[in-house]
Structure 1
Amino acid sequence: MKLNRTTQRTVEILKLISKTPEGATLDDICQKLDLPKTSAYDIVTTLGEMGMVNVTRGQKQNYTIGLMAYRIGVNYTNNLNFIGIIEPVLKAFSKEVGKTVFFGIPSDHHVVYICKFEPENPIITTATVGSKNPMYCTSLGKVILAYSDEENRDQIISRIRFTRYTERTIENREGLLAELEQVRERGYAFDAREMEEHMQCVGAPVFDRDGNVLGAISISSLYKPAEDYEALGTLVSRKGMEVSRLLGFLGKI
């Protein structure tokens, strides 16, 4: 994937300034990052206007990290605080069902695995903490899409490049939209051996206190024809709502 050079430079500048409490001048930025002065000036001027950096004017302008960047960092930290709340609940849930339990959050058109909880005798799963998979063929991703607002959902789906992993993988937008409608009707989603031939997963959404879909939890296990996956769906849906309540969600979906 081709990365945008201006965006890369912007991030590099912010990282440099954040590590320099006394601030950095334009000359410092250009020298340390090997950037053209014109390009660097345009970027820090824009960052200054947006509140991402503070500009102290003197013989040479000095740049320090701004309030907006701090607020973004605080929001990120706040979003991570909930992990400590849900971890013991999902760990106990994994032991209760005797299967691997995941918690994932959206990242563009992928889902990122943030937590993984395994029973005493876990099966081998390819998904690891920090890894990501496409939304359209994972139970986590499907429920996140199903409960996202329509505009955001359409934007995400427009960026998906459908790849066939097994003969059961959804292969187009129409098929995905039809499945998402079913997900909303029943309250949980399946990965019916769509990513891996031998794995079946069922997932349910987790909401924040404002009713926005924060992420999702799933139960993952080897496929067994005799398994009652609808019952597992009901179970994980209830657990998703329990976790949502712990995070302050009081409404109904």
Structure 2
Amino acid sequence: MTPVNPESSTLYVQSLATGVQVLRAFNTQRASMSLPEIASAVGISKSAAQRFAFTLEALGMLKKDSQSKRYSLSSANLESGYQYLQCHPLLERANPYLLDLNQRTGETVNLAEPADDCMVYIGRFSSLARLIAHVPIGQRIPMFCASTGRAYLSSLSDDAAREILERSDRVRYTPQTVTDVDALLTLVQQAREEGFACCHDQFYRGDLALAVPIWDAAGNAVAGLNLSVSSTSFTVKRAINKFVPLMLETARLISTTPPNPTALRPFRTEPRGPKEAG
């Protein structure tokens, strides 16, 4: 078991941790950085930044512009992510069923797994007819506003779900994003009762997202199956009626054991009120 404060352990390799921090410091706002910028972003000295940048460049993880002397991530960083997906037993088992659901519905289908207070998208088959938003493999979406996140939270106890919601940075991504913890917990409880979660305009405008949990052999939710449609093409009621039965069937096929009994309860078909449409 990892200690509460792993940095206090004699097994903790600080230099390795700092090297990882340097790589993680690069993002959309800092696509390239000079040595002083790396030092500032990571909280290390310029000489330390120089040593780490030199080593990471030598390993092929960073590349240096010969003119500007600025560093940026190299494509080698994709290798570990690619290997992770190649070795992922759940994704390997799920992909044929995800593709089948995509072809049967003509809509975008995703598989996401929990990581702290977010869901990370590890599998995706896009709609050929319409693409609401570009969600690349590896993107993290906060649980509180993701249909897969609410589906996953619905598998937890109320106390566990509340703890995750309370420590989440609940940003209002759209005017409709629900950020109040009590309101979110009500939606999670509703998802638990109905066996699926519905998010309407929560992270992306125009996105109507449905999700159901994926279960492991021990009966624990380990991922979320998502199907997204355009809210200009579907009402909530029509989307639920058309897609949720197919999604539950797909989830049963992917899961190593039958889903939690709550996932088999009849799902509600009447339109939701404004409070529930989040």
After superposition, residues 20-169 of structure 1 pair within 5 angstroms as 80-169=88-177
In structure 2, how many angstroms separate the alpha carbons of the residues matched to 1:226 and 1:198?
A: 10
Specify the SS of the correspondent of 2:261. Answer: coil
Question: Matches of 1:114 and 1:141 in 2, distance apart?
Answer: 14
Contact 2:118 2:142 in 1 (8 A): yes
> 2:234 and 2:123 mapped to 1: Cα distance?
28
Relative to the length of structure 2, the TM-score reads 0.60
1:230 and 2:240 are equivalent in the alignment: yes
Hey, what's the Cα distance between the residues in 2 that align with 1:204 and 1:115? 15
Shift of the 226–15 alpha-carbon distance from structure 1 to 2, 3 Å rule, reads closer
Query: For structure 2, which runs of at least 5 residues remain unmatched after alignment?
Result: 20-47, 49-83, 263-278
Judged with a 3 Å threshold, the aligned counterparts in structure 2 of structure 1 residues 124 and 234 are, in CA distance, closer, same or farther, namely same
Residues 188 and 234, structure 1, Cα contact 8 Å, conserved in 2: no
SS of corresponding position for 1:153: helix
Find the partner of 2:226 among 212, 218, 223.
Answer: 218
Q: TM-score, normalised by structure 1?
A: 0.66
Residues 226, 150 of structure 1: alpha-carbon distance in 2 compared, 3 angstrom cutoff: closer
Secondary structure in structure 1 of the residue aligned to 2:222: strand
Which residue does 1:6 correspond to in 2?
7
Shift of 1:171: 1.6
What is residue 175 of structure 1 aligned with on the other side? 183
Matching residue within 250, 253, 257 for 1:242: 253
| Percent of aligned pairs with the same amino acid | 22
Counterpart residue type for residue 156 of structure 1: I
Compared with structure 1, are the counterparts of its residues 251 and 182 closer, same or farther at alpha carbon in structure 2 (3 Å cutoff)? closer
> Cα distance, 1:163 vs. partner?
1.3
Deviations for 1:5-29, whole angstroms, at most 9, x for unmatched residues? 937953755999xxxxxxxxxxxxx
Letter in 2 for 1:6: E
CA change 1:151–1:221 in 2 (3 A) is: same
Counterpart in the other structure of 2:29: none
1:252 is matched with which residue? 261
**CA distance, structure 1, for counterparts of residue 86 and residue 220 of structure 2:** 15
Please report the RMSD computed on the Cα atoms of aligned residues, expressed in angstroms.
Answer: 3.1
CA contact (8 A) 1:95 1:118 kept: no
Offset at residue 79 of structure 1 (A):
8.0
Task: Name which one, 1 or 2, has greater alpha-carbon Rg.
Answer: 1
